[in-house]
Amino acid sequence: MTIIINDITSPQNPLVKLARALDRKKERKETGLFRAEGARLVKEGLDVGWRLHALLFSGAVESRPHIKDLLASCQDPEIKIGRVNDRILESITHRDNAQSVVGIFYQQFSNLDAIIDEDLIVALERPKDPGNLGTIIRTLDSVGGKSIILLEDACDPFSVEAVRSTMGSLFSVKIVKSPIKEFLDWEKQNDFTLVGTSLKAHDLHTKTNMGSRTILLMGNEQSGIDDDLADSCDELIKLPMNGRADSLNLAIATGISLYEIWRQRDFNGKNS
Amino acid sequence: MTIIINDITSPQNPLVKLARALDRKKERKETGLFRAEGARLVKEGLDVGWRLHALLFSGAVESRPHIKDLLASCQDPEIKIGRVNDRILESITHRDNAQSVVGIFYQQFSNLDAIIDEDLIVALERPKDPGNLGTIIRTLDSVGGKSIILLEDACDPFSVEAVRSTMGSLFSVKIVKSPIKEFLDWEKQNDFTLVGTSLKAHDLHTKTNMGSRTILLMGNEQSGIDDDLADSCDELIKLPMNGRADSLNLAIATGISLYEIWRQRDFNGKNS
């Protein structure tokens, strides 16, 4: 089977304009697409079955084995493939020495029913910072978690910054958006243990049993978990603090909590 | 005593130009100054005795109690104080709805001899990302650590992004820059235990005793700890990983390791 590659030389080419436009939330919402940068990331997405809309790559690297491999993975005739120059790639990613590959993928959201059997879930209430969100997805993947729930208005997991921060883990994690009420009904019906982190909590994370079917709930960067939501938690934990610092970065607090949960499970399933 | 406040209306005023110029590494290096944004952050720095060169504040908030407090803390006649408008503040911080206060502080580096008695130190080999560096300083402060060592060429802890990420913890932590050889000689002479994190290590962080006088050594974002440096470590630990993810974000890995060290010390000194 032959892969059709189009040579693109104009920065005004519609595919190039689309790749650039995916910087903006509005364009991502209207098209349902997002941008993933770098051969490794695009390969990761294809390997786990995400649907690719288009691929742009630098003609300068076409002969490299990993680029040949990547192109060979793009057999689906629906995938538009364009050979571009580095200047065009830099105009898309706004970076000097841009990645040599840009993929345009279809966004994929999951739903609560699809993650009913999960053993470890992170739920974030109104996260604001896409770098934090991406880093949390990366860390969740690192402990074997496969699902994240974004409660109410959250920053976009498919923004360029969030995608970059996931370092490929985006493609391994199911992302669910849910209103709080629906989420609470669902978690109660399905016998999850909802563990919220709160500076007002009394129990240390290491002194609280976080066994199977735990949902780790993290509040917003500025205000933490909403009071009503905290009241609905089965457990509230706090991370100890010392000195003048009064809180941890959201992604750090989530990472410490996730590794504590996994420690309590004897790092079950870890890579050798 | 009277505090002299100058009204500044021109974006070309030398103090405003200086505040803006501190975005650039070259200017920070030449002047030995850096910018801290927000009343809370500036107050934090003054409270723990950092030397302030200048303060710019928005006339719109002058009557608020915390701004009055802050101004009252600026009795030193050496401190230049300017009342500006919000447009000028936004031109300095490149943010809409900018903070209402910008402080210009003198940078403060410490040295190895000054941190000989510390019980917990973080050493970073060639960190590249200022957001990571700032977040690590914030986390170190949260576990009661007071010193960080930057080995070889590191990103600037006084860059605007690093300072923002520390959320004020910058002012509570001693920062030392050192070449690797000098650092290794010093840590051996002073009987520290040097614990490096490495994906190639065999021992889990939770199975390794990290008692008193530990230096936690973290490698660079891309390449980890240099082989020679790894050979000099007393212990090498790894954080377990699962699934397709192959590494953690540097600040996350540091945070998890720091909280594990502190857990092994029964969270000694934690705030109630």
Please measure the distance between the N-terminal and C-terminal CA atoms of chain A and give it in whole angstroms.
39
| Residue A62 tokens, joined | 């076409």
Residue among A138, A190, A131, A203 at smallest CA distance from A161: A131
Q: Does B49 touch chain A (CB under 8 A)?
A: no
Start and end residues for every CATH 3.30.1330.30 domain found in chain B: 5-106
Dihedrals phi, psi of A123, to nearest 5 degrees: -120, 130
The predicted structure's pLDDT at residue B3? 83
Whether A14 contacts A84, CB under 8 Å: no
Q: Look up the CATH architecture of domain A5-106.
A: 2-Layer Sandwich (3.30)
Radius of gyration over alpha carbons of chain B, in Å?
21
pLDDT digits (tens, 9 = 90+) for A45-56: 999 999 999 999
Å between B38 CA and nearest CA of chain A: 15
| pLDDT exceeds cutoff 80 at A97 | no
Neighboring chain A residues of B271 at a CB cutoff of 8 Å: 240-243
pLDDT at B272: 77
Residues of B in contact with A267 (CB under 8 A): 204, 240
Q: What is the average per-residue pLDDT within A94-103? A: 86
Residue of A nearest to B246 (CA): A142
* B contact test, residue of A41, A142, A222, A261 with most B CBs within 10 A: A142
Show Cβ contacts of residue A154 under 8 Å, excluding neighbours closer than 6 positions: A124, A126, A127, A133, A177
Cβ distance of B249 and A144 shorter than 8 Å? no
Which residues 219-258 in chain B show a CB within 8 A of chain A? 239-245, 247-249, 251-252, 255-256
Q: Is B40 near chain A, with CB under 8 Å?
A: no
Reported as a single tens digit per residue, the pLDDT across A17-33 is 999 999 999 999 999 99
- E-assigned strands of B61-189? 80-84, 101-106, 120-125, 147-151, 174-178
What does the pLDDT read at residue A184?
97
Q: Under an 8 A CB cutoff, do A139 and B249 touch?
A: yes
Q: What does the pLDDT read at residue A246? A: 83
**A174-191 average pLDDT score:** 97
In chain A, residues with a C-beta closer than 8 Å to the C-beta of B49 are none
ipTM over 0.85: yes
Q: If you search the block for the tokens 């130009």, which residue do you land on?
A: B17
Contacts of A148 in chain B (CB under 8 A): none
Assign B11 to helix, strand or coil.
coil
Average pLDDT, integer, range A86-113:
92
Rounded to whole angstroms, the Cα distance separating A183 from A156 reads 19
CA–CA distance, B164 with B181 (Å, rounded to integer): 31
Q: For residue A63, count CB atoms less than 10 angstroms from its CB and return exposed for 0-12, middle for 13-18, buried for 19 or more.
A: exposed
Which amino acid is residue B1, in one-letter code?
Answer: M
Report the topology of domain B112-264. Alpha/beta knot (3.40.1280)
What pTM, to 2 d.p., does this model score? Answer: 0.96
Q: Which pLDDT does position B201 carry in this prediction? A: 92
Q: Are A144 and A258 in contact (CB under 8 A)?
A: no
Q: Where in chain A is the domain with CATH 3.40.1280.10?
A: 112-264
| DSSP secondary structure, B182-224, as one string | HHHHHHHHTT-EEEEE-TT--EEGGGS---SSEEEEE-BTTTB
Burial of B50 (0-12, 13-18, 19+ CB in 10 A): middle
Verify whether the Cβ–Cβ distance A243 to B144 is below 8 Å.
yes
pLDDT at site A200: 85
- Specify whether the CB–CB gap between A173 and A145 falls below 8 A: yes
pLDDT tens, position by position, A214-266: 999 999 999 999 999 999 999 999 999 997 778 999 999 999 999 999 999 99
pLDDT given for residue A95 in this prediction: 83
Mean pLDDT by 10 residues, chain B (272 residues): 87 96 97 96 95 96 93 93 94 85 97 97 97 98 97 97 96 97 97 94 95 95 93 96 88 98 96 83
The helix or strand, by DSSP H or E, that contains position A88, with its residue range, turns out to be helix A86-93
Residues of A in contact with B141 (CB under 8 A): 242-245
Residue-level pLDDT at A55: 97
Residues of A in contact with B138 (CB under 8 A): 245, 248-249, 252
In terms of Cβ atoms closer than 10 Å to its own Cβ (0-12, 13-18, 19+), residue B146 is middle
CA-based nearest residue in chain A for residue B254: A252
Query: Strands of A174-178's sheet, edge to edge?
Result: A174-178, A147-151, A120-125, A214-218, A193-197, A235-238, A203-204
Q: Within the 116-155 window of chain B, which residues sit less than 8 Å (CB to CB) from chain A?
A: 131, 135, 138-139, 141-144
The residues with which B149 forms a beta bridge, in sequence order, are B123, B176
Q: Is B248's CB within 8 Å of A138's CB?
A: yes
**pLDDT attached to residue B165:** 96
Q: Which of B144, B167, B248 sits opposite A242 (nearest CB)?
A: B144
pLDDT of residue A1: 60
Whole-number pLDDT of residue A241:
95
| pLDDT-derived band at A99, boundaries 50, 70, 90 | confident
Nearest CB neighbour to B138, from listed A242, A245, A262: A245
When mean pLDDT is compared across A70-79, A172-181, B155-164, the lowest value belongs to: A70-79
- The alpha-carbon radius of gyration of chain A (Å, integer) is 21
8 Å CB contact of B168 and A245: yes
Beta pairing partners, B215: B121, B194
Averaged pLDDT of chain A: 95
